[in-house]
Amino acid sequence: MEDDRLLAIHEEIVQVLLQQDASYARPMPSWELARLLNVAPSYVREQVGVLRRHRLVSVRRGRGGGYYLSPANRQRHHARMRRSAPGTTTGPAN
């Protein structure tokens, strides 16, 4: 059985998909993700498989296909990024 723990590479893949605004209409192919992350495309496909099993990343198959975040996952990750941005607080101001 494969190890499905999420690693730093998974967060990096999600960040790139957010930054590049990947969507169903504009999915990002594995070769492009690989180029931006400086890893092999086969490694990207393997790691995206883990993200797909966790339902964090979706795939559009066929010519012009690739990976993207669903709208719900995109909103969740944007909210998490805003909460963790420097200078932001999560509690009441004193």
- Phi, psi torsion values for 55, nearest 5 degrees: 60, 35
Residue 46 lies in a domain: yes
20-68 tens-digit pLDDT: 999 999 999 999 999 999 999 999 999 999 999 988 899 999 999 999 9
78-91 tens-digit pLDDT: 666 556 556 545 44
Burial of 48 (0-12, 13-18, 19+ CB in 10 A): buried
CATH number, domain of 46, equals 1.10.10.10
Look at residue 5 and tell me whether its pLDDT is greater than 80. Answer: no
77 with 69: CB under 8 angstroms?
yes
Residue 77 lies in a domain: yes
Residue 24 lies in a domain: yes
Range of the domain at 26: 8-83
Q: Full-prediction pTM beyond 0.85?
A: no
Number of Cβ within a 10 Å radius of residue 58: 20
**What is the percent of the chain where pLDDT is above 90?**
57
In angstroms, what CA-CA distances link 83 with 1, 11, 45, 78, 89? 35, 16, 29, 9, 7
Mean pLDDT over all residues of the chain? 83
Count of the separate structural domains present in the chain = 1
Which residue has tokens 């966790």? 54
Look at residue 3 and tell me whether its pLDDT is greater than 70. Answer: no
